[in-house]
Amino acid sequence: MSEQDKKPWGGRFTAATNEFVETYTASVGFDKRLYRHDINGSIAHATMLAKVGVLTEAECKTIVNGLKDILADIERGDFAWSVSLEDVHMNIEARLTERVGAVGKKLHTGRSRNDQVATDIRLYLREEIDALCEGLLAMQAALLNLAEREAETIMPGFTHLQTAQPVTFGHHMMAWFEMIERDRQRFIDARKRTNILPLGAAALAGTSYPIDRAYTAELLGFDSVAENSLDAVSDRDFAIEFTADAAILMMHLSRFSEELVLWSSAQFNFVDLGDSFCTGSSIMPQKKNPDVPELVRGKSGRVYGNLTALLTLMKSQPLAYNKDNQEDKEPLFDTVDTLLASVHLYTEMLADIQVNKKSMYEAAARGFSTATDLADYLVRKGVAFRDAHEVVGLSVRFCIDNNKDLPDCSLAELQQFSKVIEDDVYAVLTLEGSVSARNHIGGTAPEQVRAAIGRARARLGL
């Protein structure tokens, strides 16, 4: 074994690690993606140690320069990762000692891999939350643009996937905007609990060295330091919270995907997804398959699984750190990657959606979507709502038996169910009249949709 591959903890042991155990327990294959965060954390730690007099300024400078050189090596692909050194932390520390000599061995003074990895993960996740929130903002902007373009486009609104009342496509898109805004706010809130510094907790009990944790937190941009050393090294709540928020976001995207899959089918023909976001069939040349929304819908289960994995990982652990926690990274990394890719694809796909207004309008005109408007009309004429409900039900039954819709009925046909119905009823039976009548905050009237878009743009600073 080379000097570089010697384990920093090997002094206690008389036999080498079993080769299979070494491979089984190594995490460097996936945690090496934390290299930048690990190096930044180490630079801050060394700077703090120099400030409190544990390192000299010359030692600190040597260590910091060595770490920066290692960062450059990794980023140009000139770094050999060793499984025998287990993880990203020991690989970097071993290379540092090889590069700068014995002074490199002083870097780990006053810390443990337990608080080091907890710090690395928080630095990583904080950065990814910021990137995700930027992506969600871009997706929201795309939704607002689409909603504005289609503020007057009438489509059927559904309950139980049955035609209920006419709405506008713009209003429907604003419903998705509100869901994504709640998601974004959840991530912003989760970032607060992520941005707490564990470094200084050491293995589990703190350290006897005169460290300055507040200074380290300042250097790394943390809002505060973890108050309890046991909790600091064993807490993974922030990762679980992020993944729970991620599961909610993917649930929303899955619901959106389900609608896009339905709407782009020949049976609905409401929207046409851009060719760049669809694929064909190897046997049926006419096919245009909505693969992106289908795959996003499928990946929701992947993120749900990651959440379950993290919850299961933590559910039986005693304080403080346990090797189980090595298993926190792959579900977290996979969740981050899945979210960023899904949000990016959705943002681009929304900009390329074409709306078939004619099909939407014709679908809204079927299924008695203005039946509630007729009931409201009768109530305004003095009919009790339950009586009005029965009148409209009888009118719909008549239309079904005679293969027509409510606006197609003559006045005499409608009056057989209620004598209060007059010529002005036809104004409320039109799709346009129905939509425009919902003219209040949260309603589907085009005027309200545009107002909601304006408030949303102001809220987001767009």
- Whether the pLDDT of residue 9 is over 70: the answer is no
Return the pLDDT at 396: 92
Give me the mean pLDDT over the 59-64 stretch: 98
- pLDDT at site 102: 96
pLDDT tens digits, one per residue of 190-200: 999 999 999 99
Confidence check: pLDDT of 377 > 80: yes
pLDDT digits (tens, 9 = 90+) for 445-456: 999 999 999 999
Catalytic residue among 2, 84, 108, 160: 160
Q: Please give the distance of CA 169 from its chain centroid, rounded to a whole number.
A: 24
pLDDT digits (tens, 9 = 90+) for 208-237: 999 999 999 999 999 999 999 999 999 999
Q: Do 340 and 416 reside in the same domain of the chain?
A: no
From the candidates 224, 281, 344, 440, which is the catalytic residue? 281
Kindly state whether residue 389 falls inside one of the protein's structural domains: yes
pLDDT at 367: 83
Instruction: Tell me whether residue 182 is in a domain.
Output: yes
- Return the pLDDT at 282: 80
Q: Do residue 247 and residue 155 come from a single domain? A: yes
User: Could you tell me the two tokens for 304?
Assistant: 């749900």
The pLDDT assigned to 3 comes to 45
Average pLDDT over the chain, rounded to an integer: 94
Tell me, what's the pLDDT at 17? 66
Find all residues with CB under 8 Å of 392, minimum gap 6, and list them: 371, 372, 374, 375, 378
Residue 10 is predicted with a pLDDT of 59
Same domain, 380 and 251: no
Q: Does pLDDT of 244 surpass 80?
A: yes
Looking at the structure, do residues 169 and 40 belong to the same domain, yes or no?
A: no
Residue 3 domain flag: no
Q: What is the pLDDT of residues 246-289, one digit of tens each?
A: 999 999 999 999 999 999 999 999 999 998 888 887 888 787 88
pTM of the model: 0.91
The question of whether 27 is a catalytic residue gets the answer no
Point out the least confidently predicted range of 73-82, 228-237, 402-411: 402-411
The answer, yes or no, to whether residue 348 has pLDDT greater than 50, is yes
The answer to whether residue 238 sits within a structural domain is: yes
Q: What is the C-alpha separation between 359 and 286, in angstroms, rounded?
A: 20
Let me know whether 214 and 92 are in one domain: no
What is the tens place of the pLDDT at every residue in 151-195? 999 999 999 999 989 999 999 999 999 999 999 999 999 999 999
Contact at 8 Å (CB) between 389 and 375?
Answer: yes
CATH of the domain at 35: 1.10.275.10
Rounded-to-integer distance, Cα 247 and Cα 183, Å:
10
Same-domain check for residues 175 and 104:
no
- Looking at the structure, do residues 118 and 220 belong to the same domain, yes or no? yes
Answer whether residue 4 is part of any domain: no
Q: What is the pLDDT of residues 123-154, one digit of tens each?
A: 999 999 999 999 999 999 999 999 999 999 99
Q: Give the pLDDT band of residue 13 (cuts 50, 70, 90).
A: low
| CATH code of the domain containing 412 | 1.10.40.30
Q: Kindly give, in sequence order, each residue whose CB lies less than 8 Å from that of residue 44, ignoring residues fewer than 6 positions away.
A: 199, 216, 219, 220
Q: Say what angle helices 237-263 and 291-314 make with each other, to 10 degrees.
A: 160
Pairwise pLDDT comparison (89 vs 287), residue with the higher score? 89
DSSP summary character for residue 162: E
Q: Which of 109, 132, 155 is the last residue of a domain?
A: 109
Residue 242 resides in a domain = yes
Whether residue 137 sits in one domain with residue 188? yes
Is residue 235 located within the same domain as residue 152? yes
Q: Which of 75, 109, 143 is the last residue of a domain?
A: 109
Give the residue numbers spanning the domain of 70.
10-109
Does 2 map to a domain? no
Query: Does 443 lie in the same domain as 374?
Result: yes
Looking at 27-97, which runs of residues are DSSP E strands? Answer: none
Does the pLDDT at position 14 exceed 90? Answer: no
449 and 381 belong to one structural domain: yes
The answer to whether 160 is a known catalytic residue is yes
pLDDT at 253: 98
For residue 263, give the 3-state DSSP assignment: helix
Judge whether 320 lies within some domain.
yes
**Residue 24 in this model has a pLDDT that exceeds 80:** no
Q: Are residues 272 and 162 in the same domain?
A: yes
d(CA 251, CA 248): 5
The pLDDT assigned to 1 comes to 43
CA angle, residues 49, 52, 54, in degrees to nearest 5: 55
Our measurement of the distance from residue 318's CA atom to the centroid of its chain's CA atoms, rounded to an integer in Å, reads 30
Type of residue found at 370: T
How many domains would you assign to the chain?
3
**Mean pLDDT of the region 54-58:** 98
Last residue of a domain, one of 90, 109, 128: 109
